[in-house]
């Protein structure tokens, strides 16, 4: 009895729907004909986009005259059979083209053992990869079409495509099975093309300025360079816990110490924190360091990268993001951190950083703060909650409080501030830059200060990194450095609502 049930369950589970069965039986037929259903090398003469750009303008008569032979490969997305003629639409990475099959031209072309190229059409299913060659023609409705003389199966699809008219709408399925999203929703392909274009832009701007692209370790013994909780893993051979990097900063600085004066890395960063429309546990960061540069150097760099990326993706410097129209065209606004805090809260951190005053200011604004919060945390809270959401057009906020910036150089004139800016757009942090701290004595003092904050319960305070201190004690050139969130820039220039829309395979439970 129990055994019988078990068998029933297995059968139930393994039973294929009619559709899957029919695809498998088509596969079996192809194999019976002695044809390899998985294809091989196929030399296309052009992409579908090439064909359209070269021949859409030709008339039916001109094409008949010219007899243009082409070979084209793609995925079958539509098939319309009319007795002894058939039309198919195939897509490649550049677009779509129609194929036209006629009985007269194909039924005497052998295809494997005992079949011909016309019969073989019956083994096709939507989703299959096919390659076809023939001459270009125009149909009655003036559509550019390949009149197929020969065709091959290049890869069988054993599962059906998402519905052709409504596409794939379920967001979970779109994120989880991105390959189906890309097939069904052509507009999402443009978002990812834009992503690549943004990264190419970043590279070209930096390469033009003589920067060298480098790679540094993703596995760190100390997760530093930012304030964030890391992912922990274990190295078996060494029997030590190690961390996935939370920033690129400290290794790039080591390279400057080593004499590479302009370096950058576009790399994956991992932060073990919350997930929402602006945060994915792994994301892409650009960090660039320029010896003998400073904050102004970095502002010019960031401005150029943002503006150029927007222009290359959109053809103009304006983009739309979450109901705001953003213009990267004009010189970005510059605003003083303390000035903004004073403007929005009435508290002047230039005058005093009294903890009680700051605590009261937070409470007055009904901000939810811990009574034991440090001065830095309180200032940060005021800025993040009150000022930041209001920074819509690109704004460089300059001169940060020293408490928040253990790796930035102190301001030469203003006590308690460092030479740092963050770029905000639509209330989001896009970039963060310093005139880098290259004084090893001060760096040690800053780390020790962070250590006290850590001891006081701030588990994101920067750990003391002796190996890094050793490095800069050998002499680090004065430098400007910047970190930029690539995903967020892509969101802005593509108008994407969620970071998941610009990451191919976002984190899913």
Partner RNA sequence: AGGCCGUUAGCUCAGUCGGUAGAGCACCGGACUUUUAAUCCGGGUGUCGUGGGUUCGAUUCCCACACGGCCUACCA
- Return the number of the residue (175 or 421) whose C-beta is nearest RNA: 175
For RNA, which residue of 24, 66, 67, 81 counts as binding (CB under 7 A)? 81
Q: Which of residues 1-30 bind RNA (CB under 7 A)?
A: 9, 12-13, 15, 17-19, 22, 26
Q: Say if residues 132 and 86 touch (Cβ distance below 8 Å).
A: no
The structure tokens 């009680």 sit at: 356
Q: Which of residues 460-499 bind RNA (CB under 7 A)?
A: 460-462, 497-498
Minimum CB distance to RNA, residue 85 (Å): 3
Minimum CB distance to RNA, residue 281 (Å): 10
Distances (CA, A) of 316 to 223, 307, 322, 428: 39, 9, 18, 21
- Return the number of the residue (84 or 200) whose C-beta is nearest RNA: 84
> Site for RNA (CB under 7 A): how many residues?
75
Is 226 an interacting residue with respect to RNA (CB under 7 A)?
A: yes
Cβ neighbours of 282 (radius 10 Å): 15
Here the tokens at position 123 are 């083994």
For RNA, which residue of 92, 287, 290, 380 counts as binding (CB under 7 A)? 380
Q: Which of residues 343-372 bind RNA (CB under 7 A)?
A: 368
- Return the number of the residue (30 or 205) whose C-beta is nearest RNA: 30
Here the tokens at position 507 are 């984190």
Q: How many CA atoms lie within 13 A of 45 on its CB side?
A: 12
With CB under 7 A as the contact rule, which of the stretches 29-37, 100-108, 328-336, 337-345 interacts with RNA? 100-108
Q: Which of residues 116-135 bind RNA (CB under 7 A)?
A: 125-126
Q: Say if residues 124 and 150 touch (Cβ distance below 8 Å).
A: no
Here the tokens at position 387 are 């000022």
The structure tokens 């001891």 sit at: 455
Minimum CB distance to RNA, residue 157 (Å): 10
Q: Which of residues 144-203 bind RNA (CB under 7 A)?
A: 145, 159-173, 175
The CA distance from 122 to 114, in Å, is: 14
- Return the number of the residue (166 or 234) whose C-beta is nearest RNA: 166
- Return the number of the residue (217 or 463) whose C-beta is nearest RNA: 463
The CA distance from 98 to 77, in Å, is: 10
Question: Cβ neighbours of residue 479 under 8 Å, at least 6 residues apart?
Answer: 253, 256, 289, 290, 291, 292, 293, 435, 436, 438
Question: Cβ neighbours of residue 121 under 8 Å, at least 6 residues apart?
Answer: 81, 86, 101, 106
With CB under 7 A as the contact rule, which of the stretches 74-82, 188-196, 212-220, 351-359 interacts with RNA? 74-82
Minimum CB distance to RNA, residue 74 (Å): 15
Minimum CB distance to RNA, residue 164 (Å): 4
The CA distance from 500 to 467, in Å, is: 36
* Contacts of range 159-166, beta carbons closer than 8 Å, 24 or more positions apart: 159/20, 159/23, 159/127, 160/19, 160/23, 160/125, 160/126, 160/127, 161/77, 161/126, 161/127, 164/77, 164/78, 164/126
Minimum CB distance to RNA, residue 80 (Å): 4
The CA distance from 110 to 508, in Å, is: 48
For RNA, which residue of 102, 203, 411, 414 counts as binding (CB under 7 A)? 102
DSSP string, 183-195: HH-HHHHHHHHHH
- Return the number of the residue (215 or 273) whose C-beta is nearest RNA: 273
For RNA, which residue of 24, 229, 360, 363 counts as binding (CB under 7 A)? 229
Is 404 an interacting residue with respect to RNA (CB under 7 A)?
A: yes
The CA distance from 168 to 172, in Å, is: 10
For RNA, which residue of 10, 31, 85, 232 counts as binding (CB under 7 A)? 85
Q: Which of residues 286-315 bind RNA (CB under 7 A)?
A: none
Distances (CA, A) of 346 to 343, 380, 382, 421: 6, 15, 11, 22
Minimum CB distance to RNA, residue 166 (Å): 4
Closest CA relative to residue 183, chosen from 139, 230, 128 = 128
Q: Cα-flanking dihedrals φ and ψ of residue 112, to 5°?
A: 70, -160
- Return the number of the residue (100 or 328) whose C-beta is nearest RNA: 100
Collapsing DSSP to helix, strand or coil, 177 comes out as coil
CA quadruple 115, 116, 119, 122: dihedral sign: positive
- Return the number of the residue (201 or 247) whose C-beta is nearest RNA: 247
Minimum CB distance to RNA, residue 451 (Å): 13
Identify the H or E element spanning 137: strand 129-138
- Return the number of the residue (161 or 479) whose C-beta is nearest RNA: 161
Minimum CB distance to RNA, residue 145 (Å): 5
Minimum CB distance to RNA, residue 172 (Å): 3
- Return the number of the residue (89 or 436) whose C-beta is nearest RNA: 89
With CB under 7 A as the contact rule, which of the stretches 77-85, 231-239, 262-270, 466-474 interacts with RNA? 77-85
Q: Which of residues 408-467 bind RNA (CB under 7 A)?
A: 429, 432, 460-462
For RNA, which residue of 271, 307, 353, 409 counts as binding (CB under 7 A)? 271
The CA distance from 308 to 356, in Å, is: 45
For RNA, which residue of 143, 197, 327, 336 counts as binding (CB under 7 A)? 143
Minimum CB distance to RNA, residue 13 (Å): 6
For RNA, which residue of 247, 374, 405, 419 counts as binding (CB under 7 A)? 405
Q: Cα-flanking dihedrals φ and ψ of residue 400, to 5°?
A: -90, 155
For RNA, which residue of 51, 111, 137, 310 counts as binding (CB under 7 A)? 137
């Amino acid at each position: 009895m129990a055994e019988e049930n078990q068998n029933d369950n297995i059968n139930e589970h393994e039973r294929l729907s009619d559709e899957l069965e029919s695809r498998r039986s088509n596969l079996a037929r192809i194999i019976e004909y002695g044809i390899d259903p998985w294809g091989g090398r196929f030399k296309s003469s052009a992409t579908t986009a090439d064909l359209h750009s070269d021949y859409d303008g030709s008339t039916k008569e001109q094409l008949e005259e010219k007899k243009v032979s082409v070979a084209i490969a793609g995925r079958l997305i539509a098939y319309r059979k009319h007795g002894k003629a058939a039309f198919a639409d195939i897509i490649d990475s550049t677009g779509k083209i129609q194929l036209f099959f006629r009985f007269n031209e194909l039924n005497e072309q052998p295809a494997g053992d005992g079949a011909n190229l016309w019969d073989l059409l019956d083994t096709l299913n939507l989703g299959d990869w096919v390659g076809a060659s023939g001459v270009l023609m125009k149909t009655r409705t003036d559509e550019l079409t390949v009149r197929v003389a020969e065709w091959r199966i290049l890869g069988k699809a054993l599962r059906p495509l998402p519905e052709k008219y409504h596409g794939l709408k379920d967001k979970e399925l779109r994120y989880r099975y991105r390959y189906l999203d890309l097939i069904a929703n052509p507009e999402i392909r443009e978002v990812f093309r834009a992503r690549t274009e943004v990264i190419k832009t970043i590279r070209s701007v930096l390469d033009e300025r003589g920067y060298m692209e480098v790679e540094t370790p993703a596995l760190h013994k100390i997760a530093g360079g930012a304030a964030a909780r890391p992912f922990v893993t274990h190295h078996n051979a060494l029997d030590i816990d190690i961390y996935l990097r939370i920033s690129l900063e400290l290794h790039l600085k080591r390279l400057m110490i080593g004499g590479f004066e302009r370096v950058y890395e576009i790399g994956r960063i991992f932060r073990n924190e919350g997930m929402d429309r602006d945060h994915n546990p792994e994301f892409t960061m650009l960090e660039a360091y320029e010896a003998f540069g400073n904050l102004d150097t970095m502002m010019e760099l960031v401005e150029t990268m943002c503006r150029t990326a927007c222009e290359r993706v959109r053809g103009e410097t304006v983009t739309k993001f979450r109901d705001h129209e953003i213009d990267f065209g004009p010189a970005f606004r510059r605003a003083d951190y303390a000035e903004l805090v004073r403007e929005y809260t009435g508290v002047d951190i230039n005058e005093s950083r009294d903890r009680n005053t700051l605590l009261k200011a937070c409470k007055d604004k009904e901000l939810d703060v811990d009574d034991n919060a440090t001065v830095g945390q309180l200032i940060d809270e005021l800025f993040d909650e009150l000022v930041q959401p209001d920074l819509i057009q690109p704004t460089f906020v300059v001169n940060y409080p020293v408490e928040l910036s253990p790796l930035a150089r102190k301001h030469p004139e203003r006590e308690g501030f460092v030479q740092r800016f963050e770029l905000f757009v639509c209330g989001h942090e896009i970039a963060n830059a310093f005139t880098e701290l290259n004084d090893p004595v001060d760096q040690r003092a800053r780390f020790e200060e962070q250590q006290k904050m850590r001891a006081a319960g701030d588990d994101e305070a920067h750990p003391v990194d002796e190996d890094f201190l050793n490095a800069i004690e050998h002499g680090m050139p004065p430098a400007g450095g910047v970190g930029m969130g690539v995903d967020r820039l892509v969101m802005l220039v593509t108008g994407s609502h969620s970071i998941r829309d610009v990451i191919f395979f976002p984190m899913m439970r």
